[in-house]
Amino acid sequence: MSVSDGLRDIPVDRLRPEDAAIELERLAAEIAAHDEAYYRNDDPSVSDAAYDALRQRNEAIEAKYPKLIRADSPSKRVGAAPAEGFAKVVHSVPMLSLANAFSRDDVADFLDRVRRFLNLPADEAVEVMAEPKIDGLSVTARYEKGRFVMAATRGDGREGENITENLRTLQDLPDRITAKDLLGGGVPDVLEVRGEVYMAKSDFLALNERQEAAGAKVFANPRNAAAGSLRQKDPAVTRARPLRVFFYSWGEVSDVTWKTQAEFNDRLVDWGFQANARARVCRSLDEIMAEYARTEADRAGLDYDIDGMVYKVNRLDWQERLGQVSRAPRWATAHKFAAEKATTVLEKITIQVGRTGTLTPVANLTPVTVGGVVVGRATLHNEDYIAGKDIREGDTVIVQRAGDVIPQVVEVVADKRPAGAVPFVMPDTCPECGSLAIREDGAAAKRCTGGLICPAQAVERLKHFVSRDAFDIEGLGARNIEAFWGEGWLTSPADIFDVDGLTAKLDGREGWKEKSIDNLRKAIEERRKIGLDRFIYALGIRQVGQATARLLARTYGSFTALKAAMAAAQDRDGEAYAELIDIDQIGPAVADDLLGFFAEDHNQDVLAALEAALDIQDMVAADTSNSPVAGKTVVFTGTLETMGRSEAKAKAESLGAKVSGSISAKTDYLVAGPGAGSKLKKAEELGVTVLTEDEWLELAGRT
């Protein structure tokens, strides 16, 4: 797997904005690849700790540079697209993932964020439900009038796979539910319960013994065994596998009668579901950490795999106020267990070139098992990282799978260095195209200056174009993109949509039969219609990820309008440029990359060819026709007293308002709390309507 960029080991607080943008791009691509392996293929290539640390770095950079948050940011995305072979199910309530914590300080920060969002006193207790985080496959089960009617996997959080008949085979899943009604409220007419399908360790060992005796596939771990068993096309195979399920949350419910997470757990048991008996309500940070330590100490003795703890705000009314970001609820977090390390020999250092031209050194290792996975390569980040740790070919090194899809070398075992080992020197030319490789002032990595003539960059751009969050063309994975590029069949994204020409070349090619060629043709044709936000993201513009692409799509509405705005904004003193940088989360650095892309003649040619081949759909805004603030631009300043700033912004955006960080003549409302300063003065000078917090709540509706 290729390494995209060379900034991996630079501490977040030392990253310049331009370097942070590159890192976010690299992280988005690597995490997406890992999601694909884990959620869609049930074949993870990294440990959970490695994956979590990768996300942690992404979140830290986004916290420091919120204007650089990409549309394909892992913080905006859950899981991976559903696999082929099962009917699709659109979740009526999205199945979210969780943000992560890795230390006591992280958990304290989570509690503090809850207090700030809800505008609670710093010393007010926040009760949380703490429960083990099961390492299995997330599912949802729907009941209507007490009868089980449908089940689905999480998929990408919005759409999953229909596994109704397979889940029905689990003994832990009741086909009908009734309430003993000890708690009141009965069984809601519509009830979706969500949980984790897993395989007990003892059952896993017994299954593998049977598989081995029969000469069949032996599973790597209980999670893979559970996922593979649940997603069998023949439910009889699933029935023969010892699967279990813990339930812990809900989706769509016709009548929510419980008021706390703990009460819901009690209702699960009352209805006949399996809920984890180790779930506890904790009332302080000390209680939370004590429960974490107790569970970690008991971990090896449990008959199911766990990889951490989950903490959920106990009060349901607080959960509702806290709401969610695009990927995760604000009212819950996962506290993960530590990563694993191993010792091996670094045999050779090679250089790989990413989509943006960054040269990244990679350690080729004597294969070693780390956390149950064989590792043969590890990132060395950049030349400063190598020099700082004095890493040389032939060294014995300690490898950790805690931050990258390709693990990292964290330490050299100095007393095992072989005689004659010499310091590594980064090349001055690109190993792919021979162009000069330069390191700009203040940059952490060297970059190839070859641009589009560099095959490595061109191929990576094409891979990005067809990736899951872009055009998502089934059958055009990385391997085929590389092969078609090598044949000269694909040199530009528009070449993909010359379907007749492309598929004609595949006729008779090894590995391509009539059905697979026809499937590729259909997959490409299905993607001729694409949403504006996905199209913008697919273009691979530097610093423009999914979040930024969605912002641009919402702001300009159509590709025609976007092009016109980008042409007008080339005048940095004009109104169009001012409007561009006034978009929330888009500043001068992102604007420069956008305008540079649209100004390049080669890109204009590519865009014209794509427009001729595609139906780029206008962005359809959510229906906020009944909202009194829909389409209005709102700025918040000062101290808000009844809700936190984040909650206020989230509420305004949900009502269709545009939240800005600066005052201009186009601002409709300034909501000013105590302590309002320069923004209030500027609003008064420009004649912008100024509202108190109560006036804003009255206007927007106190919901």
Q: Which residue has the higher pLDDT, 574 or 76?
A: 574
**184, pLDDT greater than 70:** no
Average pLDDT on 49-60 reads 78
Give DSSP secondary structure letters for 365-420. EEEEEETTEEEEEEE--SHHHHHHHT--TT-EEEEE-SS-SS-EEEEE-GGGPPTT
pLDDT in tens, 443-483: 788 888 766 567 888 888 898 899 888 898 988 888 899 88
pLDDT in tens, 162-174: 999 999 999 899 9
Residues with Cβ within 8 Å of 299's Cβ and at least 6 positions away in sequence, in order, are 306, 337
Confidence band for 126, pLDDT divided at 50, 70 and 90: very high
d(CA 634, CA 245): 46
The pTM for the full model equals: 0.52
**322, pLDDT greater than 90:** yes
Q: Which residue has the higher pLDDT, 415 or 440?
A: 415
**114, pLDDT greater than 80:** yes
What's the DSSP call for residue 83?
P
**182, pLDDT greater than 70:** no
**5, pLDDT greater than 60:** no
Q: What is the pLDDT of residue 431?
A: 92
Average pLDDT on 486-490 reads 89
Residues β-bridged to residue 89: 160
Q: Which two tokens stand for residue 303?
A: 């008959």
Q: What is the pLDDT of residue 453?
A: 63
d(CA 196, CA 524): 35
Average pLDDT, the chain: 85
Taken as a whole, the chain contains a residue count of 703
Whether residue 333 contacts residue 107, with contact meaning beta carbons closer than 8 Å, is answered with yes
What's the DSSP call for residue 577?
H
Average pLDDT on 112-129 reads 93
pLDDT in tens, 233-277: 788 888 888 999 999 999 999 999 999 999 999 999 999 999 999
User: Which stretch of 32-41, 537-546, 644-653 has the lowest confidence by average pLDDT?
Assistant: 32-41
Average pLDDT on 514-540 reads 91
Query: How far from 513 is each of 83, 498, 561, 656, CA to CA, in Å?
Result: 21, 19, 43, 50
Most confident of 186-190, 353-357, 475-479: 186-190
Give DSSP secondary structure letters for 274-311. ---TT-EEE-SHHHHHHHHHHHHHHGGGSSS-EEEEEE
**6, pLDDT greater than 80:** no
Of the residues 76, 133, 446, 651, only one is catalytic, namely: 133
Q: Where does 558-628 have alpha helices with state H?
A: 559-568, 575-581, 588-599, 601-613
Q: Which two tokens stand for residue 434?
A: 């021979």
Q: What is the pLDDT of residue 4?
A: 41
Whether residue 272 contacts residue 266, with contact meaning beta carbons closer than 8 Å, is answered with no
Query: How far from 637 is each of 122, 539, 647, CA to CA, in Å?
Result: 21, 36, 13
Q: What is the pLDDT of residue 584?
A: 66
**142, pLDDT greater than 90:** yes
Confidence band for 49, pLDDT divided at 50, 70 and 90: low
pLDDT in tens, 588-638: 888 988 898 888 787 888 899 999 999 999 987 666 667 888 888 888 888
Query: How far from 163 is each of 146, 230, 616, CA to CA, in Å?
Result: 19, 8, 33
End-to-end CA distance of the chain: 48
**403, pLDDT greater than 70:** no
Q: Which residue has the higher pLDDT, 13 or 359?
A: 359
**666, pLDDT greater than 90:** no
Q: What is the pLDDT of residue 625?
A: 67
% of residues, the chain, pLDDT over 70? 91
Q: Helix or strand or coil: residue 465?
A: helix
d(CA 119, CA 640): 8
User: Which stretch of 465-469, 482-486, 571-575, 652-656 has the lowest confidence by average pLDDT?
Assistant: 652-656
Kind of pairing between the strands at 615-617 and 529-531: parallel
Residue 201: active-site member: no
Q: Which residue has the higher pLDDT, 131 or 228?
A: 131
d(CA 203, CA 62): 42
Axis-axis angle for helices 17-35, 588-599 (nearest 10): 80
Q: Which residue has the higher pLDDT, 532 or 60?
A: 532
Domains of the chain: residue spans and CATH: 99-336 (3.30.470.30), 531-617 (1.10.150.20), 633-700 (3.40.50.10190)
d(CA 694, CA 691): 8
608 class by beta-carbon count within 10 Å (0-12 exposed, 13-18 middle, 19+ buried): exposed
Query: How far from 455 is each of 180, 293, 357, 369, 432, CA to CA, in Å?
Result: 66, 51, 10, 33, 7
Q: What is the pLDDT of residue 52?
A: 72
Whether residue 244 contacts residue 305, with contact meaning beta carbons closer than 8 Å, is answered with no
Q: What is the pLDDT of residue 273?
A: 94
Q: Helix or strand or coil: residue 223?
A: helix
Residue 589 phi, psi dihedral angles, 5° rounding? -65, -45
**566, pLDDT greater than 80:** yes
Q: What is the pLDDT of residue 285?
A: 96
Most confident of 323-332, 430-439, 531-540: 531-540
Which residue, among 676, 624, 688, 675, has the nearest Cα to 652 in the 3D structure?
Answer: 624
d(CA 513, CA 499): 16
Q: Which two tokens stand for residue 345?
A: 């020999």
Average pLDDT on 332-344 reads 84
Return the number of other C-beta atoms located less than 10 Å from residue 690's C-beta: 17
**80, pLDDT greater than 70:** no
- Max Cα distance, the chain (Å): 82
160 class by beta-carbon count within 10 Å (0-12 exposed, 13-18 middle, 19+ buried): buried
Average pLDDT on 661-672 reads 85
% of residues, the chain, pLDDT over 90? 38
Whether residue 542 contacts residue 495, with contact meaning beta carbons closer than 8 Å, is answered with no
Most confident of 445-449, 552-556, 653-657: 552-556
Average pLDDT on 79-89 reads 60
Q: Which residue has the higher pLDDT, 441 or 201?
A: 201
Return the number of other C-beta atoms located less than 10 Å from residue 672's C-beta: 24
Most confident of 34-48, 77-91, 367-381, 605-619: 605-619
Q: How far is C-alpha 355 from the chain's CA centre?
A: 20
Average pLDDT on 110-138 reads 93
Give one word for 510, left, alpha or beta, with left for phi > 0 and alpha for psi -120 to 50.
Answer: beta
User: Which stretch of 27-36, 156-165, 534-543, 572-581 has the lowest confidence by average pLDDT?
Assistant: 27-36
d(CA 554, CA 532): 9
Confidence band for 404, pLDDT divided at 50, 70 and 90: very low
Residues β-bridged to residue 448: 437
